[in-house]
Structure 1
Amino acid sequence: MNPSEDLPVSRWTLVAVAALAMGAVGTYQFVWSSVRLPLGARLGTGETALGTVFTVFLVFQSGSQFPAGWVRDRYGPRVPLLVGTPLLAIGYAGTALAESLPFVYAAYALGGIGSGVVYTVAVNTPVKWFTERRGLATGVVTMAYSGVSFLAIPLVRRGVETALTETLIVLGVGVALAALLAAVVVRDPPASALDGGGAGEADGESEPDGDGADDVPADAGGHRGERDGDTPEPDAGVESPAAGTYEWRETVRTWQFWLLYAVMIVVNGVGLMLIGKVVAYADALELPAAVATAGASVVAAADAAGIVTVGGVSDRLGRVRTVSASLVLSGVALVAATVAGAAAAAWPFAALVGAAALFRSPAFSVFPSLIGEYYGQRRSSENYALLYTGKVWGSVFGGTVASLLVVSLGWTTSFRISGVVLAVAGLATALLRPPE
């Protein structure tokens, strides 16, 4: 019997609900650029202070994921989701009603915690339910993080111009309802099915026997391995998973984790630089305003498209091979964009920054799957949440460090350096192999 047969809905329904929740919390990150100026005008706040609000959000969003993942892996997704739901509403409502900057810091920090909690639950739901088509399923969820905001931003921009408070309150209610729906619908397979191959198999394939996972004898390394005959033949995307479950203390003792962590910093750093500065770069190159706007829109759309399309490709070509090649291509595209921009080739510039975003983003669908395959499904939430903290350092690079590079070296040189670093990260990823 397949564990998914006990579900009142299909596994893809879980993916859809997780994607809805993921997209809802993604608005905190992606609509901020539309909210910040009207909010700053109301509070009489300068650029630096508004930038700090976003930094506070990123720190709390990234930092909250490990404790949320730890709880989810042990007690299921409902507890963290019920904690995150009111925080999401409070974050937007508090920002809407704030009359001072410290109040905005506190409100957006609480929203960041709620966003991080829902993010880690949503992104790891496909990891726990799928072995086949795991890259595609994870890609669908991760794509929604920016994809929903791409659709919402035009509405938010119109709303904040005339009714900032009301728009933010409506956002808070909508985001909280999406998280609450996830708390009702999303669930995990039985512990006995995880890391034994039973959760994500196609109908008719064998599942583990009825004994609980905690009854499986530990191997010599302290990890709980699968029983003979319980593990089905993996698809081409599975990178020879490790013998059993790694808890986070064991995960951080592997070199594979730290290589992934370094790549995560680079991917986030260059990505946030691209998202946050592509319009300013186009202006510095004196490209037409329409090209600058198109560049920003293309980056957002390509970011979402790359996550799901290339994530799905990883199911066939393999996780490591796919993400390594995509990051190299991203770096090459970014360097090529600087060449096009320097030559005043406006529309090739926009197309190439879109290509850079398209090939950078698949890491966010491949890495959760890779963590589950390397370190086990049972603790996938806490292990990926630990990896995701690399976003904190990436945000420092994408913001402060990138600005210092631009001031010191100029726009084109700074973007070329970022492209080279991204390509090197892709080559380094090719060195990965499962922990022994």
Structure 2
Amino acid sequence: MLGAQERRNKTDKEILGYSRYLVVIAAFFAMFVISPFEYTWSTMAGHIAAMYGWTHEEVALMFTLFVVAQSIGMLPGGMLRDRFGPRWTTAIGGLFSGLGIASIAMGPSYPLVLTFWTLGSFFTGFIYNNAITTGNKWFPDHRGKITGVIAGAFSWGSLPFIFYIRSISQSSDGSAFISTIYVIAIVMAIVPIVAAFVMTDPPKGWSPPGWSPKQTSVVRPSTHQYTMSEALRTWQMWALIVSFVLISGAGLAGMSKIVAYSDSFGFAAAAATAAAGGISVANGFGKLLLGTASERFGHENTMIGSFVLSGVFLLGTVVAGNLGSDVAFVICAIAGIFFWASLFALFPIIIGHYFGGASAGGNYGALYAIAKGLGGLYGGILSAILIHHQGFSYGITVAGLMAIVAGLIIVPLRAAPPVWRGAEQTPNLERRLGQPAE
């Protein structure tokens, strides 16, 4: 049995018996299969309402419960994976996630559907945290790219189903739709179990032999490994939380209702399908490309630019819709979600960058649980109520302004990132010797 120090000096293949890239592939597909909960929602919602005769608000509550439950699940999922590793939490998460999506077939009992839907949503948080954090821990040298790829999987997994579900007539008896739900549920349960056999963490403090933190263009402002309680005592963590609440709520309001939003302007069905499919593709590439860009241009700069541009393009969908331009509407919707999606790569990156890797699962889980849960309240049920009474243009305008404010909140962090001021360290030394999270 190798000692801890000995293991830290080994290559990934010597530790695992296989390449760390195989761990990333496993994390990618575990994340990929839970995508339909969120990114196929705007396509599924109409079928659910038509089959069971549920109101717009009742269906919107399902989306809100997913966002809130998944967000809450991120915290215990992160804490458990930091302590025990990602394997068994990923496998259990897969089983319950599959049950959650299968609950759609349990109607017309609304309470029964909500119960199992919420349970499954909670455990998707386990998988999400495990996948993102595992990639972060194995790739301190390529954090932006790897985090972007894994986060992108949460968008791309919906693509195989969006176009098929859109082709099903909402006047049908629902059997074709339910068959698709069963297929998704089976895949969602099996893939994480298989992935769990490969997913594991590197030794604490591990980095690729021969690689130095100085080789990255973005160094940590502090060498300290913050615990969750230490991170939550910094004002920077709470600035990130407020920004996350605003930007997540803004994008979820538009994305979860994109089909109905397009229909509200009288656009052809093709426009809604193009918007739904396009935002899934753009969502994934936004995470990948902007996560990678942050390593060159700075995490804070990339967040500010991305969130502000997301807000501008969300406002652009309102202008395009009112002018009757379906092409401009689809372009603005896709661009808005492209820049919005970066939050799911940039926030875990900056959490590791600011607070270290030792408690990365718990720290990101705390941020996600608080912030996306609250953002989901607006993105789901509150925006549905607002749109019901004031119309889509009003609701999406509010969302666009929220995104712009989310970007501006990050501005002070460029000049004042968190720096640990323990007795054994000085800020100047930390800035000179700063290193990325493990």
Q: Same-fold call, TM > 0.5? A: yes
CA–CA distance in structure 1, aligned partners of residues 296 and 249 of structure 2: 28
**AA paired with 1:188?**
D
Show the counterpart of 1:368. 348
CA RMSD of aligned residues (A): 2.4
Contact 2:318 2:396 in 1 (8 A): yes
Q: How does 1:99-248 map to 2 (within 5 A)?
A: 100-156=109-165, 161-191=174-204, 193=205, 198-199=206-207, 201=208, 203-205=209-211, 232-238=213-219, 240-248=220-228
Deviation at 1:43, TM superposition (A): 4.4
Deviation at 1:24, TM superposition (A): 0.6
Show the counterpart of 1:428. 409
Segments of 5+ residues of structure 2 without an aligned counterpart are 1-8, 420-438
Contact 1:96 1:164 in 2 (8 A): no
Deviation at 1:190, TM superposition (A): 0.9
In 2 relative to 1, CA 334–170 (structure 1 residues): closer, same or farther, beyond 3 Å? closer
Cα deviation, 1:360-415, whole Å, max 9, x if unaligned, reads 11111111111111111011011111111211111111233323443555433443
Contact 1:278 1:292 in 2 (8 A): yes
Show the counterpart of 1:70. 79
CA–CA distance in structure 1, aligned partners of residues 367 and 196 of structure 2: 24
The 3-state SS of whatever aligns with 1:141 is helix
**AA paired with 1:245?**
Q
Show the counterpart of 1:394. 375
**AA paired with 1:13?**
L
CA–CA distance in structure 2, aligned partners of residues 344 and 37 of structure 1: 23
Contact 2:311 2:401 in 1 (8 A): yes
Deviation at 1:233, TM superposition (A): 0.8
Contact 2:64 2:381 in 1 (8 A): no
Deviation at 1:71, TM superposition (A): 0.9
Larger deviation: 397-406 or 360-369?
A: 397-406
Identity %, equivalent residues:
33
In 2 relative to 1, CA 298–232 (structure 1 residues): closer, same or farther, beyond 3 Å? closer
**AA paired with 2:372?**
K
1:18 to 8, 27, 39: 27
CA–CA distance in structure 2, aligned partners of residues 283 and 302 of structure 1: 21
The 3-state SS of whatever aligns with 1:243 is coil
CA–CA distance in structure 1, aligned partners of residues 389 and 108 of structure 2: 37
CA–CA distance in structure 1, aligned partners of residues 319 and 363 of structure 2: 39
CA–CA distance in structure 2, aligned partners of residues 292 and 46 of structure 1: 21
In 2 relative to 1, CA 172–131 (structure 1 residues): closer, same or farther, beyond 3 Å? same
**AA paired with 1:345?**
S
Deviation at 1:44, TM superposition (A): 4.8
1:318 to 298, 320, 339: 298
**AA paired with 2:405?**
V
In 2 relative to 1, CA 338–28 (structure 1 residues): closer, same or farther, beyond 3 Å? closer
CA–CA distance in structure 1, aligned partners of residues 393 and 49 of structure 2: 30
CA–CA distance in structure 1, aligned partners of residues 262 and 43 of structure 2: 19
Show the counterpart of 1:225. none
The 3-state SS of whatever aligns with 2:157 is helix
Deviation at 1:288, TM superposition (A): 4.1
Show the counterpart of 1:28. 37
Show the counterpart of 1:262. 242
The 3-state SS of whatever aligns with 2:196 is helix
Deviation at 1:187, TM superposition (A): 0.6
Larger deviation: 395-404 or 422-431?
A: 395-404
In 2 relative to 1, CA 422–37 (structure 1 residues): closer, same or farther, beyond 3 Å? closer
Residue 304 (1) aligns with residue 284 (2)? yes
Q: How does 1:272-283 map to 2 (within 5 A)?
A: 272-283=252-263
Deviation at 1:422, TM superposition (A): 1.2
Contact 1:89 1:175 in 2 (8 A): yes
Residue 4 (1) aligns with residue 17 (2)? no
CA–CA distance in structure 2, aligned partners of residues 408 and 102 of structure 1: 26
Show the counterpart of 1:81. 90
In 2 relative to 1, CA 412–246 (structure 1 residues): closer, same or farther, beyond 3 Å? same
Contact 2:42 2:276 in 1 (8 A): no
In 2 relative to 1, CA 59–331 (structure 1 residues): closer, same or farther, beyond 3 Å? closer
Contact 1:3 1:190 in 2 (8 A): no
**AA paired with 2:77?**
A
Cα deviation, 1:77-132, whole Å, max 9, x if unaligned, reads 11312332321233244443556222211211221122111111011112111122
CA–CA distance in structure 1, aligned partners of residues 260 and 296 of structure 2: 38
Larger deviation: 179-188 or 325-334?
A: 325-334
Between Structure 1 and Structure 2, how many residues are aligned?
403
Contact 2:282 2:337 in 1 (8 A): yes
In 2 relative to 1, CA 322–101 (structure 1 residues): closer, same or farther, beyond 3 Å? same
CA–CA distance in structure 2, aligned partners of residues 286 and 178 of structure 1: 40
Show the counterpart of 1:60. 69
In 2 relative to 1, CA 254–50 (structure 1 residues): closer, same or farther, beyond 3 Å? same
Residue 249 (1) aligns with residue 249 (2)? no
Contact 2:162 2:276 in 1 (8 A): no
Show the counterpart of 2:4. none
Instruction: List, as ranges, runs of 4+ consecutive aligned residues in structure 1 with deviation greater than 6 Å.
Output: none
The 3-state SS of whatever aligns with 1:245 is coil
In 2 relative to 1, CA 13–51 (structure 1 residues): closer, same or farther, beyond 3 Å? same
Larger deviation: 154-163 or 84-93?
A: 154-163
Contact 1:328 1:427 in 2 (8 A): yes
CA–CA distance in structure 2, aligned partners of residues 285 and 402 of structure 1: 18
Larger deviation: 43-52 or 252-261?
A: 43-52
Contact 2:43 2:165 in 1 (8 A): yes
CA–CA distance in structure 2, aligned partners of residues 337 and 248 of structure 1: 39
The 3-state SS of whatever aligns with 1:356 is helix
